[in-house]
Amino acid sequence: MNIPTYTAQQIAERFGLQLHGDGDTEIHGVATLAHAGPGQLSFLANPRYRAQLADSRASVVVMRADDVEGAPGTALVAKDPYTAFAKISALFEVAPVREPGIHPLAVIDPTAHVAANAHVGPFVSIGARSVVGEGCVIGTGSIIGEDCVVGDGCTLIARVTLVTRVRLGKRVQIHPGAVIGADGFGLAMDAGHWIKVPQLGGVVIGDDCEIGANTCIDRGALEDTVLEEDVRVDNLVQIAHNCHIGAHSAIAGCTGIAGSAKIGRYCLLGGHVGVVGHLEICDKVVITGKSVVRNSIHEPGEYSSGTPLTDTRTWRKNAARFKQLDALARRVAAVSKENE
Amino acid sequence: MNIPTYTAQQIAERFGLQLHGDGDTEIHGVATLAHAGPGQLSFLANPRYRAQLADSRASVVVMRADDVEGAPGTALVAKDPYTAFAKISALFEVAPVREPGIHPLAVIDPTAHVAANAHVGPFVSIGARSVVGEGCVIGTGSIIGEDCVVGDGCTLIARVTLVTRVRLGKRVQIHPGAVIGADGFGLAMDAGHWIKVPQLGGVVIGDDCEIGANTCIDRGALEDTVLEEDVRVDNLVQIAHNCHIGAHSAIAGCTGIAGSAKIGRYCLLGGHVGVVGHLEICDKVVITGKSVVRNSIHEPGEYSSGTPLTDTRTWRKNAARFKQLDALARRVAAVSKENE
Amino acid sequence: MNIPTYTAQQIAERFGLQLHGDGDTEIHGVATLAHAGPGQLSFLANPRYRAQLADSRASVVVMRADDVEGAPGTALVAKDPYTAFAKISALFEVAPVREPGIHPLAVIDPTAHVAANAHVGPFVSIGARSVVGEGCVIGTGSIIGEDCVVGDGCTLIARVTLVTRVRLGKRVQIHPGAVIGADGFGLAMDAGHWIKVPQLGGVVIGDDCEIGANTCIDRGALEDTVLEEDVRVDNLVQIAHNCHIGAHSAIAGCTGIAGSAKIGRYCLLGGHVGVVGHLEICDKVVITGKSVVRNSIHEPGEYSSGTPLTDTRTWRKNAARFKQLDALARRVAAVSKENE
């Protein structure tokens, strides 16, 4: 592996940043302000870390214009230092090489079509009538069932399962263990015994989506489960059948979204959030971690539920009172009235 | 793939439904009221959707007797339209064909026994002394460890792991990524270091159970973890060692049940529910999504916990007061007394 | 399989326990007090189960000195009977044999190094520059990416994924479906579209850690995600990028820990716990199941959050009042003042 090297000047030009200091400074890696050493580039985005700037041994730091005054060493000025840093840091990412071609220990159905320049790793199986587009990487142990479409430039890192009728847009990235297109959880009771409601729909995932490790997105019962473009989903998330997630929304780990929920564009769901089924969340809604959404939300903004953490003894006393809250409120109303 | 076609008359006879309208109407698929087109059958179960009936382009609609009056087109009358629809819709499900036989890229221990008419896909391994019954489908990449029994007619969709000592009844269906029979989480502290408590039990899963994608059911420490017949488990559910789940219960996604909990028959656990270990829930209990069960439940009925979602600013003010709830209740009691 | 047999005397000597009764009693298995039969050893740790002692058919019971008086049959006295039982019960665990050697259906990169006495199962792939130590078991279907180190004596049960830059200490045990070293969930917004923040760090897992089924531990953005030695993680847990978990901590199922959280030594996190990112929890903190940690914790002790479960009708009335809690507290303060 050759370590890539760039000068501060080259980076400034490439990303349209303003340079303060020595443009010849060579950079061969990125690090946090606290841990960067010579030859490394860092960033200052959160004002909380400004104090670290003076002591940082980073050769170059990306920062806002306001922070340049008094900054030691070479600075690159960006309106959004974190975003600029994300782009710069991609220069130093060494992605593993995945050569085009189908591994001899892959099993491809004769009716499937795999682009000649796609990579198909060992222990992959691709089912009937499925299509893998140009430049895709289908990593080791991935399983693509029947009637799937993997758009150009997609990466299934490894051990991804697309069960059936899953259609990925372009440049979708899916992490190991994710299961897309399994049966939705549809049940009907018949004479004291469950019967399964057939799940005849599929899953449609838009361009540039990313799906985390061990996340599940079920296929729809009658219509499709849909993620619009650029939806970002973390690990261990459950997206049930017939959900619809708007473009550019991001969903953190362990969140569960029940069936037929409709989530808007540019929404942010924190970790461990629960969303009840058959409701609607409008665009630009933020739900903080561990909250539960039991009703539709029609106004953009940030929403929360839950109670604060305390020592268990205190918690027990207060939690017991929660059961009396309505009675308490009634008594307060009565006392207030008496006092009038 | 041939598209199956049935007349309204054929469907009525097959499922014992009453026909209103043209029995010769041909049906070649199913859809929601809103999206059905000619040649499709739909259903009306939830009165909320009754308004859609007039505009629906569905050729046939399954509904209750009350709704037939004034319904356009052909109707099939059912006491429970959703259950009837589930059965009808199975006619139009095109299941992928899994031919009997063992794929050359499967690894079967010489002491294992696989029924001649079972399907064993590529990249499957079956361990010592394990048995796969008649007509089973062991999908691609599934791993069956030592001493497992897979009953007749089971389907492991793909990439399912039965670790060891897992016994499945008949017609059990398991979705990709599920891990059944991993070590329970048993630890004992010994001189400041954890030691592992051996997990010597197994997992017993009854007939007609269904286990969702990436769900985990651990094997017991000394006895078995048990799911009785017809238990339905959604995705990303954790069922810890020595749990016992009664017949016909259903558990929604992201729910976690701690060790040795005993859950009754016909229980419904919503999504993201937490159940503390070593407690008992009686038959016919419903726990709404995101609730936590910290004590045994002895009465059937529906139970909930948690607080409502509000905008974060309002939530912060109210949540802070939760810490003072006991003090508040005491003050109210004191004031009430003074006012007497 | 031969069933191992030990006398009470042999067990007493091996684990330094005091023997009461017949040292020649033969033991060929372990069971609970309630279910043990002749020839089986059981234990009494929780005083709740003392009543079962009289009726137990166990041939030998491990117990505290206090319980020996009046105990029928043979007793082994231990200060901590559960820990002693855990050790004894390991004598009766029949671990499957995993012969050294690389299965012909494994794919090993020529630059990887696998110890000669390691077991590598079928459908395993090991990537460039990765190293597998002495006596390791790399179970069926496991995937080890580039630049990983698996220390001596590690066991990857089956279908484990180490994505890239994962370094395991010695004797680490990982259960099926776990994904270690996937990309952290790092995003930056750029002109209305997400861009991915490269995840250049790795994951470091200390000696004697255990990682549960379908658990995810992401690799760090710039530095490593770290688990110190002897950390025990249950199933379906999410540990986000750059977390640091102190030695001897244990984390129960379905818990999620957001990015850059730092958790101390000897902490216990219950099931379904949520920990917000970028905070710190000191040593010896216990968080009860389903609680959420939104702020740093600086004092050892047990902490909780949440509300108690009630029937849904009662819950609804009380939960509605939660929205008025601040107003209620203000009114109580006002009334108290009026009454002064």
Q: What is the pLDDT of residues B179-216, one digit of tens each?
A: 999 999 999 999 999 999 999 999 999 999 999 999 99
Per cent of chain C over pLDDT 70 is 99
Residue A230 has its nearest CB partner, among C193, C214, C294, at C193
Q: Which of A180, A186, A188, A182 is nearest to A209 (CA)?
A: A180
Return the half-sphere exposure (C-beta side, CA atoms, 13 A cut-off) of residue C212.
36
Average the pLDDT over C143-161 and give the result. 98
Which of A27, A138, A157, A234 to probe the C interface (max C CBs under 10 A)?
A: A234
Q: How many residue contacts between B and C have a Cβ separation below 8 Å?
A: 226
Q: Could you list the active site residues of C?
A: 241
> Which letter, b or e, does each residue of B224-259 get, where b requires 16 or more Cβ atoms within 10 Å of its Cβ?
bbbbbbbbbbbbbbbbbbbbbbbbbbbbbbbbbbbb
pLDDT at C160 over 70: yes
pLDDT-derived band at B71 (thresholds 50, 70, 90) equals confident
Residue A161 has its nearest CB partner, among B83, B93, B177, at B177
Average the pLDDT over B143-160 and give the result. 98
Res A2: pLDDT: 67
**Chain B residues within an 8 Å CB radius of C40:** none
How far lies C130's CA from each of A76, A141, B221, C142, C168, in Å?
37, 18, 35, 13, 11
pLDDT-derived band at C69 (thresholds 50, 70, 90) equals confident
Average the pLDDT over B24-49 and give the result. 93
Res B336: pLDDT: 84
Res C47: pLDDT: 86
Per cent of chain C over pLDDT 90 is 92
pLDDT tens-digit readout, C83-140? 999 999 999 998 888 999 999 999 999 999 999 999 999 999 999 999 999 999 999 9
**Catalytic annotation, pick one of A241, A244, A278, A298:** A241
Cβ <8 Å between B216 and C253: yes
**What's the gap between Cα C333 and its chain centre?**
47
Contacts 24+ apart (CB under 8 A), B269-272: B271/A238, B271/A256, B271/A258, B271/A274, B271/A276, B271/B234, B272/A256, B272/A272, B272/A274, B272/A292, B272/C272
**What's the gap between Cα A73 and its chain centre?**
35
How many other CB atoms sit within 10 Å of the CB of residue B327?
15
Would you say the C-alpha torsion A26, A32, A34, A35 has a positive or negative sign? negative
**Chain C residues within an 8 Å CB radius of A106:** none
- Which helix H or strand E contains A334, and what residues bound it? helix A325-339
pLDDT tens-digit readout, B244-286? 999 999 999 999 999 999 999 999 999 999 999 999 999 999 9
Sequence-distant (6+) residues with CB within 8 A of B47 are none
Contacts 24+ apart (CB under 8 A), C126-134: C127/A96, C127/C164, C128/A96, C130/C162, C133/C170
Cβ <8 Å between C175 and B182: yes
How many other CB atoms sit within 10 Å of the CB of residue A336?
15
Sequence-distant (6+) residues with CB within 8 A of C166 are C144, C145, C148, C149, C180, C181, C202, C203, C205, C219
**Local structure of B288: helix, strand or coil:** coil
Res A166: pLDDT: 98
Cα–Cα distance for residue pair C134/C113, rounded to 1 Å: 11
- Residue C175's identity, in one-letter code, is H
Average the pLDDT over B294-323 and give the result. 98
Q: Which of A303, A268, A302, A296 is nearest to A282 (CA)?
A: A296
Q: Which two tokens stand for residue A315?
A: 């918690």
**What's the gap between Cα C247 and its chain centre?**
12
Domain C6-92: what homologous superfamily? MurE/MurF, N-terminal domain (3.40.1390.10)
Q: Which two tokens stand for residue C229?
A: 């030695």
Mean pLDDT in chain B?
96
Residue B213 has its nearest CB partner, among A105, A141, A182, at A182
- Strand-pair partners of C225: C203
Res C2: pLDDT: 67
Residue in this structure with the two tokens 């939104």, named with its chain if needed = C294
Residue B253 has its nearest CB partner, among A223, A240, A287, at A240
Domain A101-303: what homologous superfamily? Hexapeptide repeat proteins (2.160.10.10)
Enumerate helices (H) and strands (E) in chain C, giving the number of each. 6, 40
Res A340: pLDDT: 67
Q: Which two tokens stand for residue C314?
A: 């009662």
Taking the CA of residue C127 and the nearest CA in chain A, the distance in Å comes to: 10
Res A295: pLDDT: 98
**Chain A residues within an 8 Å CB radius of B310:** 303-305
Sequence-distant (6+) residues with CB within 8 A of B35 are A222, A223
Crossing angle of helices B325-339 and B312-322, rounded to 10°: 70
Mean pLDDT, consecutive 10-residue segments, chain A of 340 residues? 86 97 96 94 91 92 92 92 96 90 98 98 98 98 98 98 98 98 96 96 98 98 97 98 98 98 98 97 98 98 98 98 96 84
Res A96: pLDDT: 86
The ipTM estimated for the assembled molecules is 0.96
pLDDT-derived band at C224 (thresholds 50, 70, 90) equals very high
Furthest C-alpha separation in chain B: 86
Contact A198, B93 (CB under 8 A): yes
Residue in this structure with the two tokens 């479409």, named with its chain if needed = A149
Res A70: pLDDT: 76
Cα–Cα distance for residue pair A169/A161, rounded to 1 Å: 16
Which of C109, C146, C180, C183 to probe the A interface (max A CBs under 10 A)?
A: C183
Average the pLDDT over C304-325 and give the result. 97
CATH number of B6-90: 3.40.1390.10
Average the pLDDT over C36-41 and give the result. 95
Per cent of chain B over pLDDT 70 is 99
Cβ <8 Å between B214 and C177: yes
pLDDT-derived band at B2 (thresholds 50, 70, 90) equals low
